[in-house]
Structure formats: C-alpha cells, structure tokens
Chains A and B, each alone.
Chain A
C-alpha cells in the first residue's frame, strides 16, 4: 500500500465487552469493521445504546473502567493497537488520534488559559519548545478561524462563546497533527447557525489537511451535510455501511429504512410519519372513552381564539436583596404577541436562548410576566389563577427522565390531578381513568402499577402526556417534547400528539428548535429571535416562502438530508 491510500483507521472485528457484576458480559460493540481514508469523514450513526460512542471511546483510549476490547484489531495510520493490554498502547491519544467532545462548555478546564491547554499536548508529544508551541498555537487559532488569535490565546474558556470554545477544542485536537480525529457529537450542544460553521470547519480541515474524521452522531442531517461515508449501528452491530448518498437515499437493511424514514423531513408535510403504528383496538377504545369525557371536544368553531398573548415581556434577575442596588436585568422576552385558535397546533421555533421556553413557562404560570397580557378563554392570566383556569391548561416537558416523580407509582401520578380537580368521584374511579389514559397513549393498562424507572424515555413521555390529559385541558403546552428522544421514538410520539389533538379538539402550543418537527406538527408557526417574534405565518407559507432574513437563514443552515440529496426517500 502506498502512503497516500493507506487508511488512517482500519478496524477489523472489533468487539468491546463490559463484564457485569453478576458475572455476565455485556457486549457493547459486536465484531464491527470500519475503514477511514485520509481526508474522509466517516459518520457513525445510531440511536442511543447502539454502541457508536463506545467505538469512539475505544479509539481515544477512554473506555470506562471495566470495559475492554475483547477481540479484533485497530490500526491507526499504519500502527496497530496492542490488544493484549486492552488499551491503546503504541498509539498515543492526542498525538495519533485527536478528540472533539460534545459539549464545549465542559471540555475545557476553566482554570487554565486557552494557550496553556493548546500547548500542553505539543510540549508533551512533539517536544516543542514553548516558543515553538506558542507560534504553532497561534497558527492553529487562525486555522480554526478565531478572531484576534493573539488576544484569545491569553483568554480563559469562560471568556469565549460556545462556538469559539468548540473551535479551540478542534484546534487542540489538531495540535499534534494526528491523522485521525474522533468527533463525538461535536455540534449537538450548538445552535443551528454555529453548528453550520463548525461542520464547515471540520469539512475544510479534512479536505485541506487530509485528516480522517470519525464523526459519531445521531443527526441524519449532519451526516448528509458533511460525511463521505456512513455506518449505521444498532445494538452494537453494524447494520449497513456505504457512501452517504447511497445509504441515506436507498437504504437496504430494514432497520436502516425505518431509522431514515423516521427522520422528519423539512421539505414536505406528511400526515403521519411512516413508522409502525402501535394502535390496537384497546388503544382505540380507550381514546373513544377519553373523547366522550373530554367536555370541550368540538365545542366552538376552529376560528375561536383560545389563547391570546399581547406584548408579553419577561425579565429575569433585577430583584436584589440589597436595597438601592439594581442587579443586572435580562430581558428574555420582549413584546411577543400571538393567538392560538381552537384545535390548532401553534408552533414557536428558535435557537436556544431565544425566549421560546420562557413564553411557554409564562403561559403555564411558572414564570410571571413583567408586562403584557395573556388572555386565556376570556380570562386574563397573571400570577394568581383560578383553579378552573389551571385545570384547562396543561403542559408536557422536555426531559422524560425528570418528568415523573420517581417515588410515585404511575397510577398515582396520573390520578393525582384527576382527584385534585374532582373529575372522579373516588380514588377507585380515578385509577380507572388513569388506566384508560395509559391505554389511550399506547401503554399497557398494567403499566400504572410500576414506578417511572421501569420505563424507557419514550414511554415516560407518553405517561407525561397521559398525566397532562387527566384534567381534560383545552390547551396543551408542549415544550420540546421529543428533543431528548431517539428519532424513531420521536416519530411515534409526534404521531400520537397529532392523534390526540384530533381526538379531543385540543389546542396545542408546540415549542421546538427543530424546524422539521415544526413543519410536521404545526398549523401556524412563529419564529423567535432574541426574545422577539420575527415572523409569524401559516406553516406551509413559512417554509415555502419565508419573508424574514433570519427565517431564511435558519432554513438554509438546518442540516437536512432532503436539501442535500433531494426528496428521493419518501418511498422508504
């Protein structure tokens, strides 16, 4: 093999095992093969638990304590890892493999300067003098596009923005000229616009420097955006591998098809996302029962305004214990107005920190507005609310793992609001209602006897929805209800929410950072930026003919399979 074509990474039959306390062995990675050539970006995708991060950790020498490489070979830039020790000896992490972590906020040590963290690897591995190292650090800072590199070298991490920190992390990964970089979800913690810049940077570095990149990600859009080749993993095994276009547009393996089909498209609205439905006769019966009980179903026309928000402003901080001192005030929301009509799903979309969640929290009564009005079914909402108002307004939150009280049985959690609002005559009846609600969201009715920890993230989110439906609300606020979930689970949950809206005549305020999800879910949508709504229109209009520059930018930058490869996969 000649130098130019020699792979920077060649994995054969890699098997990673975790011995368990009870004597069993958990096989985290099952006999996978993977090759990366210089300048190639190879994406490793899969849902949580697929083993993709374990592969990355094995390469970086970061396998968690009991985990070990049980079999196979790893050759990095022609050098083979010594598997007898189960460690990456012979390969020096940092010199031969560069690493990029997910969260730039935590991957730099807060107590040391950028310069110190950039140079320490060069001093150790390349034996440079500190002057040479500093000169090289400066070059690297320029290469990753940090403005005022001389000044930034002396900065501490907290003085840089998230995007700049991730650039520093990338510079650190490049410091010793490794031929392979392992990037573990390098843009997941970043906003769309920053994500686009970082992805472009990684692509350019791979092209210019001929570095091979193993990109671990769950985001198909990111894969389509920059990867040359892709490997799809499930339960530790490789399901399908090949050139990105081939795999994403014409997946062969059944799991690859479902996975890719579950990704909500940004360029078209589907009635339902094409994932296997969990509807059974039991579910349908239960939903019919919920529908009968839902007092508000089909009362009033679709044009009625359920919620009317006018000039809403929310400020954080400002209250100080010290008299005469004005603490710094952060204006999270500045004069937002919109209406939610009966039976409609109204979307709020924007990057993190744009104030969309604050709007939701204010309407839900978790935060009090500093100015403006919220009118809900003819009643002005403030800090103190009537019981009947609270009952009609329920919420589903983002994090399924904290959404349920770990000390309450599911039945008790769902029955609690039903009893509190006296919607059931006694505890027995409330438990019956809880069972029906569980069935309506597609869970077995005996699920109620268990505690939250017995359920997966998607199931917990279903339980949270059942709990929110208990008080028979007329408006359901969904704050990023699926962003912590795997894509196939997300698809099922989005379908469920649509079904429930149709069923009970619910209105929904749906908050998301994901434009594709918004397009699938919402009838109308408002785009938020820095506490203000920049554009509000019918969803289809917004996506086909965006007016505001910011909306256009978001649409342009959102990583999307369809934008790169066109819509050839609807048939999947």
Chain B
C-alpha cells in the first residue's frame, strides 16, 4: 500500500525539467531547417567577413549571431542546431539497432538456454572485451583504408550507427537474457508451456511485455551513451566529417581555436551536448530507480 501511493507521486523537479529540456531539443531537432537563422551547408548564406565573432552577450558581439560565429563566419546557433540533429539521429539509430539485435538474441538465449545460450553469450563476451570506442575507431581505420574519401562521406552516419550498435547490443542481450531466465522460472511462463503455447508466442506475448520496462530503461541510458560515443568518435576525427558536422565534430573544430581565445567555438556545442546527455541521463536514472524491483520493494 505504501509503495503504491509512493509510486503515484509526481517525479522530482529535476526529472520534469529534464523532460522539458529534452522535449524542446527534440522540437528544435525536428524543425531545425525552419528555426535556424541560416543553412550552414549553403556556402552562399555565410561569409568570411563574419568570422570569429564572439557571442552576442560579449564585447564585440553581433546581435545577428547569438552564440557567435566560427572561423568560417558560420552562425554557431545554426551550426549547432544541425549538429544536434545529426547527433540525435545517430544516437537514436544506434539505440534502435542495438536494442532490436540485443532483445531478440537475449530472449532466444534466455528462453532456450543450453547450447544456444552458450554460443550467444560467448559471442557477447568477445564483443564486450572490446570497448565501443576502440571497435568504432578500428572500423573507422579499416573503412578509411578500404574506401575512397567520397564513399566514406556518404556512409559515415551508417558506419557510426553500426560501429556503436555492434557493441551496445550486448547490454540488451545480457539484461534481456537475465530477465528472461527470471521470468521463465515463474509459474505463469511454466503454465503457458504446459498449456502448450508455441515458443515464439510465449516469448512475444508473455515474457517480452514483462521485461520491456527494463529494456526501455537500458535504451534511455544507452541513448545517452550512444550520443556520447558518437561525439567522442567525431572529436577524435573518426566520426562525422566537418562538411556534415555533429556536435562532436564541432567541438573538434573548436578545439583548434581554444588557445587563440576563441573558446566559444568549442564550448557552445559542448554545452549543448552535455545538457542533452544530462537530460537523457536524469530521465534514465529516474526510470531505473522507478522500475528497479529491488528498490521498489523497499
């Protein structure tokens, strides 16, 4: 009784703020071409005349450029909006890809156990031996050696999604497998087996809905991780190219001007990145505490 009334309480203020921030960011991302003052990909829309202008609130700022301009005279607000768009898209893509792969493999491994489980989990072990960033860097190095620069450009987002998801699925697979094994020992699943329902139906109708909440929690936390990984890769030069910059690429560009006092070129996109990831993490943390049965029993 006590836990129920606790559960019905509103989430803490931090979670509400984070949700609002995330909502605003999503709107900005979806409508970026309409909102952005200029199109950073259109060379005609900016000029070198406007280069390296500090943010509007500083000495020497220009009201046209709220967050200042970069070394090519591009408006940082516009550049960041389009960068944010790419970061979010790649993050979501990686999460969806990893979740689908991981949930299916985890369910199958947990449900059938034995040899199937052994094979899937050993493969998972090998994948987690190598951290995402390392694998993604390797894939980047290999594609660089094999493909021409132009092909690389076109394929960069997909290569990134693939390199991030190829490691992250293990998290889903492990959690889903563990949850499946818990559920499978529960009598309602055993009852479904005795009733004679076929395995796919038991997995889909009985087990999956009961483990979906933990999948959603991992997906949320994982989204934060995927966005960070993409940013890190782009920062290291193994991600999105400067022609289609993500937030990470923007910070990489800005990094070169850190010592010349043009701090805003790096700090502005970095702030947006941190706020985005923080918002996702706050929500993810709340969801995890909320759905964690161990904490709920308290």
Question: Any chain B CB within 8 A of the CB of A393?
Answer: yes
Question: Any chain B CB within 8 A of the CB of A471?
Answer: yes
Q: Are A366 and B196 in contact (CB under 8 A)?
A: no
Question: Any chain A CB within 8 A of the CB of B295?
Answer: no
Question: Any chain A CB within 8 A of the CB of B44?
Answer: no
Set A66, A397, A406, A421: member contacting B210, Cβ < 8 A: A406
Q: Are B2 and A467 in contact (CB under 8 A)?
A: no
Question: Any chain B CB within 8 A of the CB of A111?
Answer: no
Residue of B nearest to A394 (CB): B194
Question: Any chain B CB within 8 A of the CB of A321?
Answer: yes
Nearest-neighbour CB distance to chain A for B105, whole angstroms, equals 17
Question: Any chain B CB within 8 A of the CB of A26?
Answer: yes
Q: Are A366 and B114 in contact (CB under 8 A)?
A: no
Nearest-neighbour CB distance to chain A for B125, whole angstroms, equals 12
Residues A20 and B5 in contact in the complex (CB < 8 Å), given A321-B118, A417-B195, A420-B197: yes
Whole-angstrom distance between the alpha carbons of A425 and B190 in the complex?
Answer: 26
Q: Are B195 and A420 in contact (CB under 8 A)?
A: yes
Question: Any chain B CB within 8 A of the CB of A84?
Answer: no
Q: Are A394 and B9 in contact (CB under 8 A)?
A: no
Question: Any chain A CB within 8 A of the CB of B294?
Answer: no
Question: Any chain B CB within 8 A of the CB of A416?
Answer: yes
Residue of A nearest to B114 (CB): A319
Q: Are A21 and B9 in contact (CB under 8 A)?
A: yes
Among A321, A387, A402, A413, find the residue whose CB has the most chain B CB atoms closer than 10 A: A402
Give A390-433 interface residues, CB cut-off 8 Å to B. 390-391, 393-395, 397-399, 402-408, 413, 416-417, 420-421
Whole-angstrom distance between the alpha carbons of A403 and B209 in the complex?
Answer: 16
Residue of A nearest to B1 (CB): A20
In the bound complex, residues from chain B placing their C-beta under 8 Å from that of A321 are: 115, 118
Question: Any chain A CB within 8 A of the CB of B43?
Answer: no
Q: Are B195 and A394 in contact (CB under 8 A)?
A: yes
Residue of A nearest to B197 (CB): A420
Question: Any chain A CB within 8 A of the CB of B191?
Answer: yes
Q: Are A420 and B188 in contact (CB under 8 A)?
A: no
Question: Any chain A CB within 8 A of the CB of B187?
Answer: yes
Question: Any chain A CB within 8 A of the CB of B6?
Answer: yes
In the bound complex, residues from chain A placing their C-beta under 8 Å from that of B114 are: 319
Whole-angstrom distance between the alpha carbons of A405 and B2 in the complex?
Answer: 23
In the bound complex, residues from chain A placing their C-beta under 8 Å from that of B197 are: 416-417, 420
Give A307-342 interface residues, CB cut-off 8 Å to B. 319, 321
Set B5, B186, B209: member contacting A21, Cβ < 8 A: B5
Residues A464 and B191 in contact in the complex (CB < 8 Å), given A385-B196, A387-B196, A407-B210: yes
Against A, the Cβ 8 Å flags (1 = close, 0 = not) of B7-35 are: 00100000000000000000000000000
Question: Any chain A CB within 8 A of the CB of B193?
Answer: yes
How many chain-A residues does the 8 Å CB contact rule pick out? 38
Whole-angstrom distance between the alpha carbons of A464 and B188 in the complex?
Answer: 9
Q: Are B194 and A390 in contact (CB under 8 A)?
A: yes
Question: Any chain A CB within 8 A of the CB of B290?
Answer: no
Question: Any chain B CB within 8 A of the CB of A145?
Answer: no
Q: Are B210 and A405 in contact (CB under 8 A)?
A: yes
Q: Are A366 and B190 in contact (CB under 8 A)?
A: yes
Whole-angstrom distance between the alpha carbons of A406 and B191 in the complex?
Answer: 13
Among A21, A408, A413, find the residue whose CB has the most chain B CB atoms closer than 10 A: A21
Q: Are B194 and A364 in contact (CB under 8 A)?
A: yes
Nearest-neighbour CB distance to chain B for A363, whole angstroms, equals 10
Q: Are A390 and B195 in contact (CB under 8 A)?
A: yes
Q: Are A399 and B193 in contact (CB under 8 A)?
A: no
Residue of A nearest to B206 (CB): A405
Whole-angstrom distance between the alpha carbons of A542 and B118 in the complex?
Answer: 47
Whole-angstrom distance between the alpha carbons of A404 and B6 in the complex?
Answer: 24
Among B1, B115, B118, B187, find the residue whose CB has the most chain A CB atoms closer than 10 A: B187
Question: Any chain B CB within 8 A of the CB of A140?
Answer: no
Set A18, A20, A393: member contacting B194, Cβ < 8 A: A393
In the bound complex, residues from chain A placing their C-beta under 8 Å from that of B186 are: 399, 402-403
Nearest-neighbour CB distance to chain A for B117, whole angstroms, equals 9
Residue of B nearest to A320 (CB): B118
Give B28-54 interface residues, CB cut-off 8 Å to A. none
Give B198-243 interface residues, CB cut-off 8 Å to A. 205-206, 209-210
In the bound complex, residues from chain B placing their C-beta under 8 Å from that of A72 are: none
Residue of B nearest to A319 (CB): B114
Residue of B nearest to A392 (CB): B196
Residues A397 and B187 in contact in the complex (CB < 8 Å), given A18-B2, A20-B5, A26-B1: yes
Against B, the Cβ 8 Å flags (1 = close, 0 = not) of A362-375 are: 00111000000000
In the bound complex, residues from chain B placing their C-beta under 8 Å from that of A408 are: 206
In the bound complex, residues from chain B placing their C-beta under 8 Å from that of A20 are: 1-2, 5
Question: Any chain B CB within 8 A of the CB of A306?
Answer: no
In the bound complex, residues from chain A placing their C-beta under 8 Å from that of B210 are: 405-407
Q: Are A21 and B6 in contact (CB under 8 A)?
A: yes
Whole-angstrom distance between the alpha carbons of A321 and B187 in the complex?
Answer: 28
Whole-angstrom distance between the alpha carbons of A364 and B191 in the complex?
Answer: 10
Nearest-neighbour CB distance to chain A for B209, whole angstroms, equals 4
Q: Are B2 and A416 in contact (CB under 8 A)?
A: no
Q: Are B193 and A366 in contact (CB under 8 A)?
A: yes
Whole-angstrom distance between the alpha carbons of A155 and B64 in the complex?
Answer: 77
Whole-angstrom distance between the alpha carbons of A390 and B192 in the complex?
Answer: 11
Q: Are B191 and A403 in contact (CB under 8 A)?
A: yes
Residues A365 and B195 in contact in the complex (CB < 8 Å), given A22-B5, A319-B114, A407-B209: no
9 cross-chain CB contacts under 8 A = A20-B1, A21-B6, A26-B2, A365-B193, A366-B194, A394-B195, A397-B191, A408-B206, A416-B197
**9 shortest interchain CB distances as A-B pairs:** A390-B196, A397-B187, A402-B186, A407-B209, A403-B187, A417-B195, A395-B194, A405-B188, A21-B5
Known: A21-B2, A366-B193, A395-B194. 11 other contacts (CB 8 A): A26-B1, A66-B2, A365-B194, A394-B194, A395-B190, A403-B188, A405-B188, A407-B209, A408-B206, A417-B197, A467-B195
- Which residue numbers of B lie inside 8 Å of A, CB to CB? 1-2, 5-6, 9, 114-115, 118, 186-188, 190-197, 205-206, 209-210
